[in-house]
Structure 1
Amino acid sequence: MNNGIHGFSSGPKRSRVSVNGLTLRLTPHGHLLCEAAEEAAEIDVSLSARLEAAFAQGSGPGLLQLGAGEVGRSLPPAFAWWRGFATRYVAALCLHGDGTSVIANRPTAIPDIPTPGESDLAELVRAAPMMMGIEYLTLDVLRSLWKDLQLATAVAFSATKGDLQTVLKAFNPAWNLVGRVHFNLAENRNDSELPFAFMATYTTHLSAQGKARHVLLGEALREYAGAANRTKLLALLMPVQRAAEACVWLRPMVDSGEIYHPLRWTPQDAAILLASVGALESAGVVVRMPPTWRASRPPRPQVTATLGAQAPSKLGLDGLLDFSVELSLDGERLSEREIAALLAGTDGLVLLRGQWVEVDRARLERMMRQFQAADELSRSQGLSFAEAMRMLADPMAMGGAIGSAAGEWARVSAGPWLAKTLKALRSPDGTGVDPGTALRGTLRPYQKAGVQWLHLLSGLGLGACLADDMGLGKTIQVLSLLLVQQQQSPGTKLAPCLIVAPASLLANWAAEIDRFAPGLNARILHPSGMTTEEAQQFSPVDAEGLDLAITSYGTLLRMPVLAHIPWRLLILDEAQAIKNPNAKQTRVAKSLQARARIALTGTPVENSLGDLWSIFDFINPGLLGGAKPFAKYVKTLSERSENPYGPLRELVRPYILRRMKTDRSVIADLPDKTEVKAHCHLSRKQAALYTQAVVDLERRLGEADGIQRRGLVLAMLMRLKQICNHPSQWLNDGDWAEADSGKLARLREVVEVVASRQEKMLVFTQFREAAVPLTGFLSSLFGRPGLLLDGEVPVKQRRGLVQQFQEDEAVPFFVLSLKAGGAGLTLTAASHVVHFDRWWNPAVENQATDRAFRIGQRKNVLVHKFVCRGTVEEKIDKMIESKQSLSDAMLSGGGEINLTEMTDAALLDLVALDLNTAMRE
């Protein structure tokens, strides 16, 4: 055969039939191939890809894809003809029903579909269009390809481990209708006494357009008459027999043969069918309702409760909302006359406003009574905002006043004011609030939206949970809110606000206030910022002079006066700290007085929905009910078959704002790299060793000069760095207990967030002796081992480690010594970089950070720089950060601070330990 494509061997050359660069070819051995071609038909590229992939597995899989998966698609003649051949097989397979015969030596058992008769095959051959290899098209070839189709079906059946319907549904859901009995109900508007028509049909095949072809069920008696088709007829009628056993009204129709003919029905007949849909479908019968009925059901009158048409007179969860009740149909209110007609009639189908309406009079009356009772209760006692929100989210289970009556026959909706408020809470756009020049920075669009959202909720006296991902700027949004509130109350002295945060973050808040909102009068209420005497003497009068007080969870327990101050805003940072409702610090935090409350956390649900309840019990007490009722409610969620958590999600959604770094709308507004200071406290053991080191330095400085002094200073600075990392690094005792190091405690906090997001992190240290303990500690936190690269790892192995970190999702972290891993590596799988100890040279640190932040990085990179409070680490960090004249003068050419040239007094002042700041709670 030459490069031309022949039809019959003696005929003229003919062009190839192609599908977007593909053509079908029948080989001399009777195999059907799908190959690339130069010409391309105007057909969807995805279709070509599916066919090419299917035929690559063999003729059978290719034909099965054509016959089962491509029905209803426009195809060139040759492809359409082969599809018709394969569709014959698939349709016969559907009509076979639950056959029990088994194909021998096949991967699984499927019905053995007989090959079409010789006359049918001959007719197929005569109707075949011109195609490459048509001269090899014989009856035997078609029989062989029919067997290939059976084998491909068996393999697909085995792969799904399901039933035949599951296999065919994966190709096209319409196949599940072929071979099925349908009970069809239609409206007959020309007959007022018998306004419905009923027909039982079955589907024989799918048309070329992919539509199911229906014929009367009576045709089956004639088509499958005779012993040869008895099995097929029994399989077809089996669902009808099962349905007759379950539905008493159907049995007489089957016994009399009435089921095989079209029938005219009364509304009562149609109502009986409507009530039996579940039993019929369970028996295997497909029920088809009039096309004008949405979701195959006639409309139902609904008892509608509307909440919050007007703004409440009082704000907050205790504010009372208006409540009204009416009976409606398709959203339109029914008149008193229409309601009376519905309640006076019989159950079933009633013609109302020109359409058939389903009526359950007893249920409708019961719900009307319950809704009216709720209406009367709201008029006498009022309906609180919290009760209204629970009712709106889930009146069936959230303890709302409607109780179990709600559902398909009832609806609770928000009135104009409440609907507008909820829309603003769910979709803040960032307009209407601006901190102005008081904010020393620029808010990104998503941060403006966050400030607007916080402002709206706090203005309503409602609590908020700002749950933005780590690094998205929760702090600047809160500070902007405080500035906006000040701006909107000029000349008015506002009540102070209180921020409660882990002790390790107090310095972060202070630094962010100095950076973004220096006009705020803020004070740290913590041993690191005040003496014990000042803490004991602190009074509500002292608080009145502040804009903002910042304290730790531990200090709450030691300063009971904080519970007697009426705060304007109470803000909990890292609010997962109150996830245990029985913890003492949780109870104290919830006892504080505030007009509105805000929780800041990147992990609102860490372990269970109980965490969510505890946070909401702080921000909006009572919204989720009590702890025990909520736990009981959560337990029932698993029993719901559809969208079990939808109502709970709907209830909490207005009060939680969560944006992720992976969200493209957020990523577009973020810098590629965000650096944050992770301030750490010293343990008692660290503080004692640090103090002793400073004493030793002071004693030895007077005994050394020149190069000996420079060596002493460098060695002592190295010693202080090691102590700040962990006492065991300096003592070399191999202990490395977490309780002995503030940095390990801070590292745990960072890892908990990173692990919950299933992200990866790099951890840099300049000390090889710290790398191994850090690796073990991180492995215990992540629950999986990570990787280690230090100077002892052979160069040849480094490439493999990098590849493993980049490609293996199970590897959560990579610990690198700064010299070994600070340059030359691409580690873009990481979205977090931790500098466990500082090099005191920004250029070196940035070079290490750029292992993750470089070309190819698609995620935002968050850099955590660990700094021990009150130590030489913090003081040098401030020198570098602020670029004061002293540090500028001492920056060497490489950017590293030259500390050995400082005077003794300056050096001792630099390394001196500030115990109040350095010690943890």
Structure 2
Amino acid sequence: MSSATTALTLLLTPQGHLLLAPVPDEPPLPAELQCRLADSFALGSGHGLLHLGAAEIGSVLPPALGWWRDFASRYVTALCATPEGADVAIAVPDDQVLDALIADAPPMTGAEYLTAEVLDALWAALDTALRVELAAAKCPLQDFLKARHPAWNLVGRVVFNLAENRKDPEAPFAFLATYTARLSAHGKAQHLPLSQALTEFSDGKSQARLLSLLKPVQGGAEQCGWLREMVEAGEIYHPLRWTPAEAYRFLTDVPKLEAAGIVVRAPGSWQAGRPARPLVKASLGARPPSLLGKDALLDFSIDVTLDGERLGAAEIKALLKGTDGLQLIRGRWVEVDRNKLGRMLERFQAIEQAAADTGLPFAEAMRLMAGASLDDDGIDPADADWSQLVAGPWLAETLQGLRRPEGLAQVSPGPELRASLRPYQQVGVRWLYLLTRLGLGACLADDMGLGKTIQVLSLLLVLKREQKNARPSLLVAPASLLANWASEAERFAPGLRVLIAHPSAMPAADLRALDAGALTGADLVITSYGSLLRLPLLENVDWHLAVIDEAQAIKNPGAQQTRQVKKLKAAARIALTGTPVENRLSDLWSIFDFTNPGLLGTDKLFATFAKRLAKAEHFGPLRLLVQPYILRRLKADKRVIDDLPDKTELKAWCHLSAAQAALYQRAVTELAAALEDAEGNIDGIGRKGIVLSFLMRFKQICNHPSQWLGDGAWRPDDSGKFARLRELAEVIAAKQEKVLVFTQFRETTEPLAAFLGAIFGRDGLVLHGGTPVAKRRALVKRFQDDELTPFFVLSLKAGGAGLNLAAASHVIHFDRWWNPAVENQATDRAFRIGQRKNVLVHKFVCRGTVEERIDQLIESKQQLVKDVLEGGAELLLTELSDRELLDLVRLDIHTAQEG
């Protein structure tokens, strides 16, 4: 593995496995480190994590690898407390600890699969790996850990104990060093004075154990001058009387002592081993703002509290005038840092004054709540421990609804929706309704196939019923999805007045003549990203909602269509995407710059902010900031998957490129001429041959011009189907899911595989009639077992039967056989016994062509289909009259080409 070109990261697969994979555009790791990581993770997730947490604690790692190292090192740290010779039994951290770890995870591939259950399973894998490696090493645990890194060489634990001594006013604290010799019969640690270790280990045989026991003390003495003096004077072995200043000096150096391997115990009345601190406590959003949306202004108020009790002005003044360290107030010792306490008080008083004068902007309030200041003037992390920011009643209730929409009040589109929403879809509608009512932006990031379209249509029905004569809403989508939106609206929400502002549905002259009056007659105006650029009228309308589908289309902030989308004016904005936007910070910023402008600042401010988070390896503030505005449900979620159908079939509408349209129209003209020439000159069999050859030609042109021309070029931009395949494959790749792609043409399999390989960044598999039978079983096994093999391209006849490919969660029919039985048989390669995933079936159909009209025949279930189609559609089509046949294959150029 070369260090010159390869950067590595850990990706979490949908199955909860960790895989070491190359990552583009990142600085490479040193070659030796890459080899160590590759060797360890080749043995499995547990072995890789064990190596990462035990052996690489001093290595410089990128954020994702660093986060997994931190997780693994928690396990190794717990190992150090295992007594010599005892059985290794490391308890899994509780869910609260795991949830906190997850919240602070950096962007990484597969972050959406990160759950407490997954971490629990990886912890078990760590434990299994340790037992395997420890058995193979045939050495004691401490020697095993020492071989990985000297820092783990701790035999026994020294404990520094600090206690209050209220009977001694001059020295109100006591210090005693102890050590853990062994476990009692009840499994409790036995603490003995450190002086006793000198007696217990006085014989020559135990001298090494004594040196090992005292090694952490020696390490701490190298970092703390006061401890070095105690060691040199021998005072470390005796109980000591300490003043408040000496006790505070000890508390200040606790991190150094713990880093050296010393356990620190503080008075039992101190929470988390520290005395109480006075906190500058601020509350924001106690009352509903007079305005809603990003322009809302919230209230802000502050107090100084101690353990939740408000301090008076005289007490605050006394604290700030006293000494740093430990002060006695209200009969207890408290920790005081006058500078930090004063800075926080001054900062919050300034915010309170500004809020009283002009109000606190909603975006700034959200950043304060998340601890995500975008500028360098934010709260210093060292000062943050001296403050507490809480949401007031109104804001707390609002955030609760956004973060846990399951508890929101029911919102129903009523009988106007001609469908039944699934429970998770009902939750989605309630969440969208709350955000739009508040005038805030939303990013609905549900997995592909979970019904983002029907949730938005339901929301529009709710808003229409509540607000008569409301302003129209605008939906912007890729041109390939306009037909899908139109058909879904007609099917599920026929009461919505829908206007499609696009050349495929409206003549160019009518498009140019659109005015505000025409738009107000619609509930929903649908257009494409391309048409948005050519229809300046849409930019000037005050929309009720502005919705963008496939929001990754605006991930490039500098692109013209991105800038145009962000000019739209609306009471609220919604972005729809099936990809995990939280895993790519640049995409996240651009989408939020549309849905909630200003929340993440400018692109430059956000880039600087993201660098600070990466440097600190602390992404929690960003996740906390954006989480209320993102709703993401996964097909793998147990709360969702039990509610899904086994198989969901979707139409993937495709346009023709200019080259395809020209070839298709020429073929229609040549077919008409051929039929005219054939009339009376050839028999029925000859006419059938002509019809069949032209039907095959139309299919080939709809796939790609190169398939008909045989020129070998196969340029992706020349085919609308390749463009639609790219859109789907990019989402599937981002989800690390697997896909089967079926085509009836052997010559199409290799170009498809090459195209998909470029999108997924790795090779897939190909199977067609020429694939040796003996090789097929190996291909199937590889697709099933290798998580890094993302796609399988199969010719329909070769792959349509006898194969079990249940690892796939997507099936794409790139071209249609026009025989539902054959297509269903192919689909069932993925949807069969052993499949635990919801399977999405995408059927590609070129609009305005014979493909769309045949699809309409299949969907209509006319007698034509029932009687003959499943036995061979082409034979029936040859019996059509010339007029019927030409009408079937004619090109509707407005519908077929993307505008």
- Please tell me the TM-score bracket, short chain as reference: 0.7 to 0.9
Match of 2:498 among 522, 533, 540: 522
Q: Quick one: distance in 1 between partners of 2:136 and 2:228?
A: 37
| Among candidates 809, 813, 824, match of residue 787 of structure 2 | 809
Query: 2:819 pairs with 838, 841, 844, which one?
Result: 841
Distance 2:465 2:169 in 1: 71
1:432 is aligned, of 394, 402, 410, to 410
CA change 1:728–1:234 in 2 (3 A) is closer
Deviation string, structure 1 residues 27-58 (Cα, Å, up to 9, x no partner): xxxxxxxxxxxxxxxxxxxxxxxxxxxxxxxx
Q: Distance in 2 between matches of 1:339 and 1:418?
A: 28
Counterparts of residues 253-332 of structure 1 (less than 5 Å): 253-332=230-309
Residues 307 and 402 of structure 1: is their aligned pair in 2 closer, same or farther, counting only changes over 3 Å? farther
Aligned to 1:153: 139
What is the CA distance between 1:497 and its match in structure 2?
0.7
Tell me the secondary structure at the aligned position of residue 807 of structure 2: coil
Matched, 1:349 2:326: yes
Asked if 1 retains the 8 angstrom alpha-carbon contact of 2:137 and 2:144, the reply is no
2:717 paired residue among 701, 714, 739: 739
Structure-to-structure mapping, 1:632-651, within 5 angstroms: 632-641=608-617, 644-651=618-625
8 Å contact 1:831–1:852 — kept in the other structure? Answer: yes
Partner of 2:486: 510
- Measured in 1, the distance between the counterparts of 2:318 and 2:221 equals 34
Do the aligned partners of residues 723 and 303 (structure 1) sit closer, same or farther apart at CA in structure 2, a change above 3 Å counting?
Answer: same
Q: CA–CA distance in 2 between the matches of 1:66 and 1:259?
A: 25
- Partner of 1:363, secondary structure, is helix
The one-character-per-residue Cα deviations of 1:599-626 (angstroms, maximum 9, x if unpaired) are 0111253883111101000000000011
Equivalent positions of 1:657-736 (< 5 A) are 657-702=631-676, 703-704=678-679, 706-736=684-714
Question: 1:493–1:376: structure 2 CA closer, same or farther, 3 Å change rule?
Answer: same
Instruction: Note the C-alpha offset of 1:251.
Output: 4.9
When residues 631 and 418 of structure 1 are mapped into structure 2, their CA distance, relative to the original with a 3 A threshold, is: same
Per-residue CA shift, 1:357-389, capped at 9, x if unaligned? 211123212221121111111111210000000
What's the secondary structure of 1:591's corresponding residue? coil
Q: Provide the rounded CA distance (Å) in 2 between the counterparts of 1:207 and 1:792.
A: 71
Shift of 1:706: 2.4
User: Residue 722 of structure 1 aligns to a residue in which SS?
Assistant: helix
Q: Any gaps of 5 or more consecutive residues in structure 1?
A: 1-63, 74-147, 168-175
Specify which of 749, 758, 770 is matched with residue 736 of structure 2.
758
Cα offsets for 1:438-461 (capped at 9, x unmatched) = 111111011111111111001111
Which of 423, 426, 438 is matched with 1:445 structurally?
A: 423
| 2:591 aligned to which of 615, 619, 623 | 615
Is residue 160–residue 176 contact of structure 2 (8 Å, CA) maintained in 1?
A: yes
Cα distance in 2 between the residues matched to 1:240 and 1:436? 71
> Matches of 1:316 and 1:72 in 2, distance apart?
49
Aligned counterparts of 1:889 and 1:284: Cα–Cα separation in 2: 81
* CA distance in structure 2 between the aligned counterparts of 1:695 and 1:799, rounded to whole angstroms: 46
Q: Please tell me whether the aligned partners of residues 579 and 611 of structure 1 are also in contact (alpha carbons under 8 angstroms).
A: yes
For the structure 1 residues 857 and 357, does the alpha-carbon distance in structure 2 shift closer, same or farther, using more than 3 Å as the test? same
Q: Residue 855 of structure 1: SS of its match in structure 2? A: coil
Q: Does residue 554 of structure 1 match 2:530?
A: yes
> Contact between 2:580 and 2:735, CA under 8 Å: does it hold in 1?
no
Correspondence list, 1:445-524, <5 A? 445-489=423-467, 492-524=468-500
Q: Could you give the per-residue CA deviations for residues 462-516 of structure 1, whole angstroms, max 9, x where no partner exists?
A: 0000111111111111101000111222xx2110111111111111111111111
User: How many percent identity over aligned positions?
Assistant: 60
1:542 match: 518
Preserved contact between residue 390 and residue 398 of structure 1 (Cα < 8 Å): no
Q: CA offset at residue 780 of structure 1?
A: 2.3
* Cα distance change on mapping 1:532 and 1:606 into 2, 3 Å: farther
2:357 corresponds to which letter in structure 1?
A: S
**Aligned partner of 2:843: which letter?**
K
Tell me how far 1:843 sits from its aligned partner: 1.4
Aligned equivalents of 2:90 and 2:499: distance in 1?
Answer: 72
The 3-state SS of whatever aligns with 2:762 is: coil
Change over 3 Å in CA distance of 1:70–1:406 after alignment to 2: closer
Matched residue, 1:789: 767
Alignment of 1:34-49 (within 5 A): none
Q: Larger deviation: 248-257 or 259-268? A: 248-257
Tell me if structure 2 keeps the 8 A contact 1:843–1:895.
no
Shift of 1:155: 9.1
Gaps of 5+ in 2: 1-81, 92-133
1:271 is displaced (CA, Å) by: 1.7
Q: Aligned pair in 2 of structure 1 residues 238, 879: CA closer, same or farther (>3 Å)? A: closer
Q: Does 1:625 align with 2:607?
A: no
Determine the structure 1 residue equivalent to 2:49. none
CA separation of 1:845/1:263 partners in 2, compared to 1, >3 Å: closer, same or farther? same
Q: More displaced, 817-826 or 627-636?
A: 817-826
TM-score, normalised via structure 2 length = 0.81
Paired residue for 2:87, among 46, 60, 69? 69
CA 1:229–1:750 in 2, change beyond 3 Å: closer, same or farther? closer
Q: Which piece of structure 1 moves more, 775-784 or 904-913?
A: 775-784
How many Å separate the matches in 2 of 1:726 and 1:286? 69
Q: TM-score, normalised by structure 1?
A: 0.79
Q: Deviations over 1:197-230 (max 9, x none)?
A: 2111222223344433222122234444577766
1:569 equivalent in alignment to 2:555: no
Separation (CA, whole Å) in 2 of partners of 1:205 and 1:287: 18
Instruction: Report how many aligned residue pairs link the two structures.
Output: 771
The separation in 1 between residues aligned to 2:814 and 2:135, in whole angstroms, is 62
Q: Is structure 2 residue 591 aligned with structure 1 residue 591?
A: no
Give CA deviations for 1:522-576 in whole Å, capped at 9, x if unaligned. Answer: 1111111111111111111111111111111111111111111111100111111
> Does the CA contact (< 8 Å) of 1:367 and 1:405 recur in 2?
no
Contact 1:391–1:398 (CA<8 Å) still a contact in 2?
A: no
SS across alignment from 1:153: coil
How far apart are the structure 1 equivalents of 2:240 and 2:583? 59
1:116 maps to which residue? Answer: none
Secondary structure, counterpart of 1:350 in structure 2? strand
Q: Give the secondary structure class of the aligned counterpart of 1:898.
A: helix
1:671-696 Cα deviation digits (max 9, x unpaired): 11111111111011111111111112
CA 723–270 in structure 1, closer or farther in 2 if over 3 Å, else same = same
- The DSSP-based 3-state class of the residue aligned with 1:499 is strand
8 A contact 1:371–1:402 mirrored in 2: no
One-letter code aligned to 1:182:
V
Change beyond 3 A, Cα 1:810–1:69: same
Letter in 2 for 1:652: V
CA shift at 1:788, angstroms? 1.5
- Pairing 1:370–2:347 present: yes
C-alpha displacement of 1:787: 1.6
| Gap change, CA 1:483 and 1:420, over 3 Å in 2 | same
**Inter-CA distance 895–721: structure 2 relative to 1 (3 Å threshold):** closer
3-state SS of the aligned residue for 1:311? Answer: coil
Residue 114 of structure 1 aligns with which residue?
none
Matches of 2:744 and 2:303 in 1, distance apart? 72
> 1:807: how far off?
1.3
| Distance (whole Å) between structure 2 residues aligned to residue 721 and residue 542 of structure 1 | 39
Distance 1:821 1:437, change over 3 A: same
1:898–1:270 distance in 2 versus 1, CA, 3 Å: same
Say whether the 8 Å CA contact 1:348–1:360 is kept in structure 2: yes
SS of match in other structure, 1:660: coil
Equivalent of residue 579 in structure 2, options 598, 603, 609? 603
Task: Tell me how far apart the structure 2 counterparts of residues 638 and 332 of structure 1 sit (CA, whole Å).
Answer: 36
Judged with a 3 Å threshold, the aligned counterparts in structure 2 of structure 1 residues 396 and 784 are, in CA distance, closer, same or farther, namely: closer
1:842 and 1:895 in contact (8 A); partners too: no
CA deviation after TM superposition for structure 1 residue 914, in Å: 0.3
Secondary structure, counterpart of 1:827 in structure 2? coil
SS at match of 2:840: strand
Partner Cα distance (1:825, 1:150) in 2: 40
Q: 1 or 2 for the larger relative contact order (CA 8 Å, sep ≥6)?
A: 2
For residues 697 and 235 of structure 1, do their structure 2 counterparts lie closer, same or farther at Cα, with a shift above 3 Å needed? closer
- Hey, what does 1:654 align to over in structure 2? 628
